[in-house]
Structures are given as structure tokens and as C-alpha cells.
Amino acid sequence: MVLINVIVPVIIVAGAGFLFARFTRFDVASLTKLTFYVLSPALIFNSMLNPAISATTLANVALFVVIVHSTLLLLAAIGVRWTDWDADTRTAAILSFSLNNCGNYGLPVLLFAFGEAGFTIGVVYMVVHLTYQILFGVGIASWRKGMSIRSLLRRIISVPWLYAVILAAVIRLTSFDLPAAIGRPVALLADAAIPVQLILLGMSLATARVGSLLRQAVPISLAKLVIPPLLAWGVTAALGFHGLLRAVMIIEASTPTAVNALILSLQYKRRSELSASVVLLTTIGGVGVTSLLLWLLA
């Protein structure tokens, strides 16, 4: 059921992008900018306004996300230092290893496995993780050797994702009633974000020489499939999480590489073909990992 309900739709939409890129000369850079500056901010903003997110759940999930993904980031940074890869390849590897597809992969799995209650906690994870991506993902992707801290901060604050988070937080704190004339178009743009991201994935794979990338993509993908589930299992035990919260945290932390890792690689020209290959391999391999975890957590 996981294969049918989650993976097959992902493959079909990404496959459409793949075929489109093969038979046209469409400019991928334009679609990347549309996703980066319009669709992704709308998705973040719309997700953060979900009324089912409580302060307690947000605090627990935020603590878990910071611990797990900071650890993954540290492990990736240490791991690439042992390679002879260039700076762009190392950056793509770090992004691919530390960022998760907890949205368009994780949320359908949670809805199927745990119903609305699990789905709601998953939305909280996605929102916190997106905030983490703004602060660390953008910083890692945009940083170049010799760049000053001021220049790096300038790049981070120029990313519209940050303002989507701030604006949504202000609206929630002030209990402002967002007019339907604004909320509805934002929701439409948010709904378009995930399909367009998957199309971008397929288009990137169409121009990638996956075979030549296997020496780099395979070890990154294997590490991504094995290490996060073990880490998440240990962190949930250390934090004393139980029941549904524990299960959702483990599943979300174990999802494949985020399509946003590809988006950032495309936006900042960081070996996007490698990121696309890791997304593909971990999405396929994630079927077995997710199925095993659901069986163990049942």
C-alpha cells in the first residue's frame, strides 16, 4: 500500500517532468526561481497557519528536529572531509544527507498509517523543518569560500521563505483573521508547490548522467537510508517520547532526501544532478525503510 499510495504518484509526476525535459528545451532555471520565490513561500505560510498546531506539540517537535538534523548536519560535514570531492559536491552531499522529504512523502505515509492525528503532528514537523532549512539549508547552499559572515547573512535574509515564516507567526500570535481574498490564492499556490517540485526533480534527472554519479550518489543514499532511522530511534528514547508522537518523529526523520535539497542545489548551482540522483535513490529505497519502520512501530 505504501508503494501504491505514495511512491507511484511521486514517480508518475517526476516522470512527467523527465519526459517534458527530454522533448522540449524549457529553461529549468525559470521554473526553479518560480518555486524558490513564489510556490515554496506559499507552502510554508499556508502550513504554519494550520490551526491544529498546539504550542506544546510545536515545542516537542522543534526540540527533536533541532537535535536530529543538527546531528545529521554535523555527521555530513565530518563525512565529506574524508573525500576528495570538490566544494560543490560536498555541499550537495551535505544538503542531501541532512534535509528530509517530510512533506510530500512523509505526510501521505502518516495519513495512511495513523490517520488525521498522525498527519497533524507531521505538519508540525514539516513546518519546523522548513524553518530549519531556511536558517541552515540556505546558509550551507549559498556559502562560498572566502565569503564574509555579513554577506552570508545578507543572502539568508534575502530568501522569501524566512518572511513567510515571520508573517505566518505574526498572524498566529495576533489571531488575525486572514481575508479569504488573500488566503485562497495563497492556498492555491501552496497546493501547486509539491507537484512543481516533483516536476523539477524529473527535469533535473533528464539532464543528469546518473550512471556517472553512482560512485558519489550511492554512498550518500545508503547513509541517508540507514543513519537517520537509528538516530531518531535513539533521540525519541532519550527525550521520553511515547506512542503516536514517537512513531511520527521516527517516520518523518527517516524520510528520503528532500526535494528542497534539489531546489537549493539548483538555485545556488551546487551539483544539482547529484542531489537529484540522491533524491531518486532514497525515494526508491525509502519504500523498504518506511515499510519496516511501520511494522516495528505498529
Residue 67 has pLDDT above 90, yes or no: yes
Report the phi/psi class of residue 54: left, alpha or beta, with left for phi > 0 and alpha for psi in -120 to 50.
Answer: beta
- Asked whether the predicted pLDDT for residue 246 surpasses 90, the reply is yes
Q: How far is CA 244 from each of CA 67, 106, 210, 220, 298, rounded to the nearest angstrom? A: 19, 15, 38, 30, 10
Name which of 129, 126, 125 is nearest 241 in CA terms: 125
- The per-residue pLDDT for 214 is 78
pLDDT score at 52:
64
Share of the chain above pLDDT 90, in %: 27
Question: Does the domain at residues 2-297 carry the CATH identifier 3.20.20.70?
Answer: no
| DSSP letters spanning 286-297 | HHHHHHHHHHHH
Average pLDDT over residues 77-81: 92
Domain ranges of the chain: 2-297
155-175 per-position pLDDT tens digit: 677 778 778 888 988 998 888
Taking the alpha carbons of 189, 195, 198, 203 in that order, is the dihedral positive or negative? negative
Percent with pLDDT over 70 in the chain: 91
pLDDT band at 133 (very low <50, low <70, confident <90, very high): confident
What pTM was computed for the model?
0.80
What pLDDT, in 10s, does the model give residues 266-289?
Answer: 888 888 888 888 988 898 888 889
- DSSP for the chain reads -HIIIIIHHHHHHHHHHHHHHHH----HHHHHHHIIIIIHHHHHHHHHT-TT--HHHHHHHHHHHHHHHHHHHHHHHHHHTTS---HHHHHHHHHHHH-B-TTTTHHHHHHHHHHHHHHHHHHHHHHHHHHHIIIIIHHHHH--TT--HHHHHHHHHT-HHHHHHHHHHHHHHHT----HHHHHHHHHHHHHHHHHHHHHHHHHHHT--HHHHHHHHHHHHHHHHHHHHHHHHHHHHHHT--HHHHHHHHHHHTS-B-HHHHHHHHHTTS-HHHHHHHHHHHHHHHHHHHHHHHHHH-
**If you search the block for the grid coordinates 499556508, which residue do you land on?**
46
- Of residues 82 and 10, the one with the higher pLDDT is 82
Would you state the cell numbers that stand for residue 2, as one nine-digit string? Answer: 505504501
- Residue 100: phi and psi, rounded to 5, are -115, 150
Query: CA–CA separation, 50 vs 48, rounded Å?
Result: 5
